Amino acid sequence: MTEDFNVKLVEDVKSYTPDPLYRKNAWMADYEKTYAKFLADPDGFWERMAKELDWIRPWDKVRDWNYPYAKWFTNAKLNISANCLDRHVNNSRLNKVALIWKGEAGRERIFTYQKLLSQVARFANGLKKIGVKKGDCVCIYMPLVPEQIIAMLACARIGAVHNVVFGGFGAQALNMRIRDAEAKVVITADISIRRGKAIQLKAIVDEAVLNTPTVETVVVLRRRDPPVDLHENELDFYELMAGLPDTCTPEVMDAEDPFFILYTSGSTGKPKGIVHTCGGYMVGTYYTSKYIFDIKDKDTYWCTADTGWITGHSYIVYGPLAVGATVFITELTPDFPDAGSYWSLIEEQKISIFYTAPTAIRMFMKMGESWPDKYDLSSLRIIGSVGEPLNPEAFEWYYRVIGKNRCPILDTWWQTETGMHMITTMIGEPMRPGFAGKPIPGIEADVVDKDGRPVKPGNGGLLVVKSPWPAMMRTVYKDDERYRKYWYTIDGMYAVGDLAVKGKDGYIMILGRADDIIIVAGHNIGTAEVESALVSHHAVAEAAVIGKPDPVKGNSIKAFVILRVGNQPSERLKQDLLHHVRNTLGPIAMPHEIDFVDKLPKTRSGKIMRRVLKAKELGYDPGDVSTLEE
């Protein structure tokens, strides 16, 4: 795994220390002390966090670790939606703003906690009316509108397992996720709106549900006027809620009941259905929203991710709402109506905590500082980053131009599988550009060699987590072997799949994926998924896909394609292949370059050596090629 990996660190990195007031006023004021306290009594640490929330019945045991399976808060009963909504409504936050949504043409919608709870309860009653029961799977394929969040919370309320699919995925990707999770209901919208254009989501759903026998009903949020016609087994989102009571008793969930499934790319063509459970996930996302983001009642919090990703699940919906935050969301993109769109929203909404991705930051850098400079960003208190390494240049720019040399940057490392933040530099601690930081209290992480021995400071290796944590995935849906692989690759540890370097002060620099995953604009794309989409085109015999460094997107996708006999390379065929990948996987997985080739480098056993293709493409030494066939 670490073959082409030999990093020696030159530690002359700058360090930035925020105003001591940050530390003084933070929910967690002393990282070292809190970490030591956690290490001395991990269960006690998590128990204290859990006790800040509402439980229907308390736990018998905080943690039940039976390697590689963990249970957290055994026999405890709870409901997450009750913690995200009722807890605040009952504790004088009832008229606090929970959600602000901004759409195109200045449209704005605001939900107080009380109003959000009523909507969630009514939609939950609607789901019950169409036969959704505890444990049933509901697929949510929607744009970033309040109804998406209402649908998620309504599932949580009645104990239905949601499977949210990002609205940028194509019909085949959606179909696979509906079938694998055996969704009973699909909730969608007629359209999503991107840069002034309507994208026909419903048409994609129509295609995706053709061979999905488990799907009984499709619920459609109709945004267009006049509304689109509905087919048999299709219901309107608001008609489903109409006339139903705005209260709904939260389902009593066991801490270990499945909460949701979220698919993430794996190193095979088949995405993994990551399964999270109710109790641990709630505690993990609540804890990190409060103590890592340091969310206070007066904050207006904006995470620019889509709810269809884990970042949106944990840090738009469940964590911030469990904390009682005011959450801002928007369907607007950073370049629409112009390159100042995000900065104008920060000024207008007085955003105080802003969480985005390195790919967005690098795009902002490209568009120039004159855009953010037009706006008043003084409401910002904390700025965050997630999804891929925040390179030092991007860090410096973000810190200076957006944070005005004042706001701490939280570069948070975590994964769909971890459910919650794992490594970052806590508010008030010195920040080192290029380094995400240290494991947060609650997490034991390290950089090790392939035998699990910690590397010496200044060296690189594999990033691992050494003990279970509450929000960890419990299994890969219908494929527990893939789950076990995470824990069995290195004995006794959770192998993350990332390469990292340990600094001499314990700070960790994340280098990127060690396997066949390409992170493009913060999205995990499996090389195998793109390859199989290409091969499903009638003209393609074989395909290999690699990631190439890209100054803005982090990586771009390059495909090498061998055509079937009788097909000639042409610009038109290239366009056709791109169109095909777009239709099957969605626009996010479209190659940026396609080369037609006669041969691909393979091992004797027939495995494509992407490493060799990549070395050739980027002009470096491919390293050991002894397994390459003649």
**Binding-site ranges for ligand WT7 (CB under 6 A):** 264, 310-311, 386-389, 411-416, 436, 496-498, 510, 512-513, 519, 524
488: buried, middle or exposed (CB in 10 Å: 19+, 13-18, 0-12)?
A: middle
Task: Name 526's bridge partners.
Answer: 517
Q: Which amino acid is at 472?
A: M
Closest contact distance (angstroms) between CB of 386 and ligand WT7 is: 5
CB of 206 to ligand WT7, least distance (A): 28
State both tokens at 452. 């699990």
Please state, in angstroms and as integers, the Cα–Cα distance from residue 307 to each residue in 142, 193, 398, 423, 498, following that order: 9, 15, 24, 22, 24
Beta strands in 430-502 (DSSP E): 438-439, 445-448, 460-465, 475-476, 494-502
Neighbours of 105 (CB within 10 A): 7
The conformation of residue 598, written as its DSSP 8-state character, comes to: S
Q: What sign results for the dihedral spanned by CA atoms 158, 163, 168, 173?
A: negative
Taking residue 58's Cβ as centre, other Cβ atoms within 10 Å add up to: 13
Residue nearest to ligand WT7 (CB): 416
Minimum separation from the CB atom of position 483 to ligand WT7 (A): 15
HEC string for 64-86: EEECCEEEEEECCEECHHHHHHH
Choice between 269 and 512, CB closer to ligand WT7: 512
Q: Whose Cβ is closer to ligand WT7: residue 351's or residue 518's?
A: 518
Query: In the bound complex, what is the minimum distance in angstroms from residue 496's beta carbon to ligand WT7?
Result: 6
Nearer to ligand WT7, 183 or 422 (CB): 422
Inter-CA distances, 83 with 99, 353, 559, Å: 16, 22, 46
Looking at the Cβ atoms of 256 and 388, the one nearer to ligand WT7 is 388
Q: Provide the minimum distance between the beta carbon of 305 and ligand WT7 in the complex, in angstroms, as a whole number.
A: 7
Q: How far is the CB of 239 from ligand WT7 (least distance, A)?
A: 35
Minimal distance in Å, beta carbon 436 to ligand WT7? 5
Q: Between 169 and 237, whose beta carbon lies closer to ligand WT7? A: 169
Least Å distance between CB 441 and ligand WT7?
18
Nearest to ligand WT7 of 45, 413 (CB atom): 413
Q: What is the dihedral of CA 288, 289, 293, 294, to 10 degrees?
A: -100
Token output for 233:
């087994």
Residue 510 C-beta: closest distance to ligand WT7, Å: 4
Q: How far is the CB of 351 from ligand WT7 (least distance, A)?
A: 20
Between 88 and 610, CB nearer to ligand WT7:
610
Question: Own/partner pairs for 85-90, CB < 8 Å, 24+ apart?
Answer: 85/113, 85/116, 85/117, 85/120, 85/153, 85/321, 86/54, 86/117, 86/250, 87/53, 87/54, 87/322, 87/324, 88/113, 88/324, 89/113, 89/114, 89/117
Between 448 and 496, whose beta carbon lies closer to ligand WT7? 496
CB closer to ligand WT7 out of 304 and 584: 304
Residue 402, classed as helix, strand or coil, is: helix
Q: Is 145 helix (H, G, I), strand (E, B) or coil?
A: coil
Quick check: 458 and 504 in contact, CB under 8 A?
Answer: yes
Task: Closer to ligand WT7 by CB, 93 or 553: give it.
Answer: 553
H or E element, residue 28 = none
